[in-house]
Each structure stands twice: as structure tokens, then as C-alpha cells.
Chains A and B, each alone.
Chain A
């Protein structure tokens, strides 16, 4: 059928366009400097070399920066999840005073762009000698309005019957939360967790401003400074990018169903 052929063609063209940079990342990392830094550049590697992968660790402490990014992102994600669960619980299941006002405060935090308050936060860290510390990378992000917002919506749809049954059984708030509510809220928790983790993983301006020691920088800054430092050696830079991609690429390739459900929980409602 012509419609089918047209569809396939369109998909192939789009695939080439979208996947070319991915091909370039991997192929380029395996090219020798003569291949990639030449004019005209070659599209295909003439002989594969792993020398770029050895060199990239000499150029920047990439392993350490990987660790930094992971540690910071995990800490932020866990902290935000805890704060969001506690706050959402309070908003939905407890007689919280000034509930409307407090919720408005939470919503307000979503309206304020981080970049418009970055200067005072930077000065605070600089004045208190917190530059180049994990604390500074993590502290401002230990709580976030998005998680609370999403979890509140999720908790609100929790079946009343289950809640009433738990109360009749004499369950305390803690027991209800941990043994009933949370296990059944896994999709929402996953969605918050993924969203927060990715935001933390992707941060650029804040780590750029408050770290300058290569060993305390995050992966993103490391990649950018690799780009600056080794501009004459694109193969090296691409090796760094390839290495940085491995976990997230694995997530996309194998965890798609999980990703889709998690990421869109907030959208489709």
C-alpha cells in the first residue's frame, strides 16, 4: 500500500536525521585524530582505536565526576521524594491548618525560576565557604514543589474504602503510609523520582558557578570543560560523551515501558 510505503520512508528519513548525531558520537570516539580533526573530516573511521577512551580519563577526572553527578542526583531525588511524600500526605490525609495558603506556597515555588534567585544563593555559598562542596550542590534542592503537587494528585485518587478500612483496623498514619499507601503509589513515586533525578542530573548553571575544582565538578561540567580543554581533539571529547551516555542510554533502551509510564503520569491525567 502506498500509504504504508510513504510512512516507512518518512520514518527512515527521520531516523537518519535523528540518529546521525548518535552515530557520530560513537564513531567519532573510535576515530584517530587524523581522521576526525582533518579537513575534510571522514564520515567513517579508518581503523578503530580505543586510544581516545584512555586519554579522556587523563584529561579530566571523568570517573570522579560521574560519581559526583550520581551521588548528588541520588541524594536530591531521595530527599525530594521523602519531603514530597510527607507533604502530600499532610495535604490529603491530615487536618492541616491554613491548608489552602500552604498549598499556594508550594505552588509558588514552581513559579519562581531558579535563575532569578541564583545570585543570592551563590553569594550565600561563597560567603560560607561552601563552594566546591557536595553540600552546596545538594542543599537548595532537598525539597521541591513538583513532587508534592504530583503526589497530592495521586493520593487524592486513592480509594476511600481502603483508607476507611485501614482506619477501622486501627492503623496509625505511619502504618497506613508505609504498608498500604506507598506500595500502591509506585507509579506516581516512580514518575516523581525519574523527573527529579533527570533534572538533577542535567543541572548546568548551578554546578558551574559553585564548583571550580575538577574533582568536585559534575559530569555535565566535566564534559563542557573537556570540550574547552581538548577542542583540538574531538575524538577524545566524543569518547567522554559516549561514556557519559551509557546509563541513560541503557534506561532508554531497556526501561522504556517504565520510563513512559513514569514520565507521562503527570501529563495524561
Chain B
């Protein structure tokens, strides 16, 4: 249907070759750096390492049993799930509120949009470093402000419960700019006449938002859920800079756990790290399946 109108079989054959030649570079990179390593991960997960991390013996499923029976395993899964929830939902909610507040042209809206989008300019490392300074137990401004407001100082990064929230706050702050821009673009695509009609019917601001705007931007919202969840599952920089997975592992997500087992503190346990990597793969596949199987159904496409 979209193929060029080529003449004859020889033309078709050449076209086929050309097609293969065009996808070959991508396939080569994928094969070498994604699929072959994927196989290697499974292979490595059944090995034990020598002093320097070289695989030198087969251990069957021992690494997997070690991972599953690890006292930290349940906590890692809980922390990962908690972190995803604590980042994705607030990121989208804040951005939604901002998007709705900024949708009607107000004076200086352009400036406000740029202002709110500023966190987007911060890379993961930049944002984490700034928040580390803010949350510093001894000289951080966050506690200074909190005490000035009359509350007790918060153990932002050194208390198990609050540490995950602090890391999540950093991530949400980073996400808000980008999320807001996406929602604004989606909101901009909603037909003005629908609002007119609703207002004529006597609908208030909240009603309009709830029944018209939000449903019509579900494609953007779904996109953000997917993108933010992926980013959340892959989060590493923030955790490494702010808490290094602590205290007592309460900010150790699956990804950080792999880093901790295979690389941190001079470790080189690539066998067990690979077993954890397999777990990560399964979790991601599961979550993607749920997102596309369940959530996407609710998206209203136009």
C-alpha cells in the first residue's frame, strides 16, 4: 500500500535488500548491546565470581535462591513500588493543577510557564545535589525554614520513613516542569467550543475541568504515566546522591540494589547482581503489561 511502485521482481528484490541494509545498523547495535547482553545476564546469573569478579564456576540457581531468600528482598520490592507511587501520582497531579490553572490566558502567563518549567532545566545530578544541600542534616535550609515556621526539624535523609519521601520530593520537583508542558499542550488541543457550550449550560470551573478537560487529555495523561513510571523505575542518580540507598535500605530500589550488590563498596558480585537484574526485567515487563492492558483501555482517543 505504501510501497513504491517498483517494476519487476528484480526491483523488488533490490528494494528488499535496501530495506534490510537500512535496518541493519540499528539491528547491529541492538544485537550487540541489548540482546546479547540480555542472554549474558541470564548466563551470568548462574555463575559465581572470583576475587576480581571473573566468573569461574557454575552455581545453578543458587543466586536466585539467595535473592529470593534475602531478608532485604521484600523491602526492595516495597521501596520500589512505594517510590513509583510517590513520584508518578504527585508529579502528574501537580502538573495537572498547574496546567489547569495556566490554561486561560492570564497576563504574564508566558513568563509563569517558563518559570514553572525551570526544574526541567535541572539534570538528575543537578537537582539531587541542590536538594542534598537543602536537606543537609546540619546546615540545610529546609530545616531552618521548618523550624522558623514553628515545627520540629525533620530528619529528611536520615530517618527511614522520611528518606524515601525526600527522594520522591526531589524527583517530583524535577518532573513537574516537563509534565506541565505536556499537559498544557494537551489542554491546548481541547476545542474552545466545548467549554463555551458547557458554560452556557451553567457548568462551573471544577465541573468543566472534571468532565471535559481531564477526559479529553487522557492521552497526555497516559503518556505521562508511562514515561514517569519508566523514569521512576530507572531512578538512580537521585538515590545515589541523596541517600546511597539508606538509611537501612529504605531507599534501595531494585535498580539501586543491583548497583549495591554488583558495584558498591568495592563489590563485584556479578552473579547475584545478574539474578537481581532478571527480577528487574520481569517486574518491568509486568508493569508495562498492566499499563497497556488495563490503563490504556481508559484512554479516550479522538
Contact = CB atoms under 8 A, between A and B. Distances in A.
Are chains A and B touching directly in their complex (CB below 8 angstroms)? yes
A263 B95 CA distance: 15
A146 to B, nearest CB: 11
Contacts of B278: 116
Interface in A221-256: 221, 223-224, 226-227, 234, 237-238, 240-241, 244-245, 248-249, 251-253, 256
A89 B4 CA distance: 12
A6 to B, nearest CB: 10
State the main secondary structure of chain B at its contact with A.
helix
Max count, chain A CB within 10 A of own CB: residue among B113, B129, B255: B129
Interface in B1-19: 2-6, 12, 15-16, 18-19
Interface residues of B, number: 101
B178 to A, nearest CB: 7
B121 A209 contact: no
A259 B181 contact: yes
A113 B98 CA distance: 31
Contact of A86 (B22, B101, B186): B22
Contact of A41 (B119, B139, B219, B277): B139
Given A15-B115, A224-B128, A244 B133 contact: no
Interface string A1-45: 001000110110011001101101100100000001111110100
A140 interface: yes
Contacts of B255: 115, 205
A186 interface: no
Contact of B181 (A140, A145, A220, A260): A260
Contact of A90 (B19, B219, B258, B270): B19
A202 B134 contact: no
Nearest to B104: A7
Contacts of B18: 90, 94, 173
A86 B25 contact: yes
B23 to A, nearest CB: 5
A184 interface: no
Contacts of B140: 41
B113 to A, nearest CB: 7
A18 B91 CA distance: 12
Interface in A62-116: 82-84, 86-87, 89-97, 102, 105-106, 109, 111-116
Contacts of A38: 139
Contact of B2 (A92, A105, A143): A92
B112 A15 contact: yes
Contacts of A117: 33-34, 37-38, 40-41, 277
Contacts of B230: 113
B129 A226 contact: yes
A100 B124 CA distance: 37
Nearest to A3: B205
Given A24-B134, A248-B121, A119 B41 contact: yes
A43 B147 CA distance: 14
A130 B155 CA distance: 42
7 contacts: A116-B281, A117-B34, A145-B30, A244-B123, A249-B121, A252-B121, A256-B110
| Shortest Cβ-Cβ A-B pairs, 6 listed | A120-B40, A96-B19, A204-B237, A143-B29, A94-B19, A140-B33
